């Protein structure tokens, strides 16, 4: 796999920590010290689809490709206003692509899983040019009476166009079924046959400390194994593009693996946790800042509800 173009898009509304004190008993100091988040972007008059289309178009422009040339669109998305069709189907029509598309729902680790699926398609020759997209609006999953979760998230979309000809050195995906630490239950239409109490909707539940612990432990181990398996050292890697959930989680992984602060770029301070879009947005920012050169080794690693973790190592 070779990344030939990246793009991202964020809502225009910047929400500061101080603005959130209007809705919750919280403070800029608490949010900064516990998470590193200073601002996040939240959708107002745009839709998530608008962001997904912009990020995709930017990635295609950067790759110098027309949408008709795509062989597949894979989109990571947990939820949006449409139950169906999938986000990738809606993006396909809007950008003028004609290829098959599908969405995956693996929460915050979704972009890494989508990249790994894209690599398999390239390996088997099923596709040659793939748009890998992550579009998420986690601020719409939060129960806006819960300060524990609502202060953490932001909305956004990021995309990469990939093709053959690069070096995808390895990946490790881990799924540990744990539905208790981070979940949300949807409201479904009741049927006359439903037995009361079987289907209950529930706003987001997050056992923050447990998710924190699992994230640091799982990502750190997975990246270590990945480097060991492929015969690489931490110092060989230019950037660890980690899921941007909490600055303290990023620092925890850095402490375990070692390396310098420069190897762990962050956007969490600006955008909060944008779920699976966070790694795609971070990648695009590094590419557009000319911070990554061809041949640089990059690791992408995400974690989230499931509990899922996904890490990959490739040459940019």
**So which residues are the catalytic ones?**
108, 243, 273
**Residue nearest to ligand UT7 according to CB distances in the complex:** 208
Helices 48-63 & 87-95 angle (0-180, nearest 10):
50
Report the nearest approach of ligand UT7 to the CB of residue 47 (Å).
22
Contact criterion met (CB below 8 Å) for 133 and 74: yes
Report the nearest approach of ligand UT7 to the CB of residue 170 (Å).
24
Contacting positions for ligand UT7 (CB under 6 A): 26, 30, 34-35, 108, 147-148, 151, 182, 206, 208-209, 211-212, 215, 245-246, 273, 304
Task: Tell me the Cα Rg of the chain.
Answer: 19
Residue appearing with tokens 């053959």 = 164
Report the nearest approach of ligand UT7 to the CB of residue 137 (Å).
14
Report the nearest approach of ligand UT7 to the CB of residue 138 (Å).
8
Contact criterion met (CB below 8 Å) for 2 and 163: yes
* For ligand UT7, the closer CB: 10 or 90: 10
Report the nearest approach of ligand UT7 to the CB of residue 14 (Å).
18
Taken as a whole, the chain contains a residue count of: 316
* For ligand UT7, the closer CB: 72 or 153: 153
* For ligand UT7, the closer CB: 54 or 273: 273
* For ligand UT7, the closer CB: 99 or 207: 207
Residue appearing with tokens 């930017």 = 58
* For ligand UT7, the closer CB: 20 or 299: 20
Q: How far apart are CA 128 and CA 142, in angstroms?
A: 38
* For ligand UT7, the closer CB: 110 or 265: 110
Residue 269: exposure state from Cβ atoms within 10 A (0-12, 13-18, ≥19):
middle
Report the nearest approach of ligand UT7 to the CB of residue 273 (Å).
5
């Amino acid at each position: 796999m070779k990344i030939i173009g990246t793009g991202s898009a964020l809502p225009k509304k910047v929400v500061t920590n101080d603005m959130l004190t209007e809705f919750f008993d919280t403070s800029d100091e608490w949010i900064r010290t516990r998470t590193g988040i200073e601002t996040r972007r939240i959708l107002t008059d745009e839709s998530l689809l608008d962001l997904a289309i912009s990020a995709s178009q930017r990635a295609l422009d950067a790759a110098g490709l027309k949408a008709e040339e795509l062989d597949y669109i894979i989109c990571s998305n947990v939820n949006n206003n449409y139950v169906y069709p999938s986000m990738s189907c809606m993006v396909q029509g809007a950008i003028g692509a004609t290829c098959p598309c599908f969405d995956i729902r693996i929460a915050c680790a979704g972009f890494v899983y989508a990249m790994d699926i894209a690599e398999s398609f390239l390996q088997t020759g099923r596709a040659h040019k793939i748009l890998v997209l992550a579009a998420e609006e986690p601020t719409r999953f939060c129960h806006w009476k819960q300060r524990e979760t609502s202060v953490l998230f932001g909305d956004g979309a990021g995309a990469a166009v990939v093709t053959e000809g690069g070096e995808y050195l390895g990946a490790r995906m881990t799924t540990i079924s744990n539905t208790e630490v981070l979940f949300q239950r949807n409201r479904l239409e009741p049927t006359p046959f439903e037995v009361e109490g079987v289907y209950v909707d529930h706003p987001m539940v997050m056992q923050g400390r447990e998710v924190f612990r699992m994230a640091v432990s799982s990502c750190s181990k997975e990246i270590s194994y990945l480097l060991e398996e492929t015969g690489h050292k931490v110092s060989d890697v230019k950037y660890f593009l980690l899921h941007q959930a909490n600055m303290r989680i990023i620092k925890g992984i850095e402490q375990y693996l070692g390396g310098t602060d420069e190897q762990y770029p962050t956007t969490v301070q600006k955008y909060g946790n944008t779920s699976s879009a966070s790694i795609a947005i971070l990648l695009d920012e590094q590419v557009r800042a000319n911070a990554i050169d061809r041949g640089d080794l990059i690791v992408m690693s995400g974690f989230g509800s499931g509990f899922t973790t996904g890490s990959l190592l490739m040459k940019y």
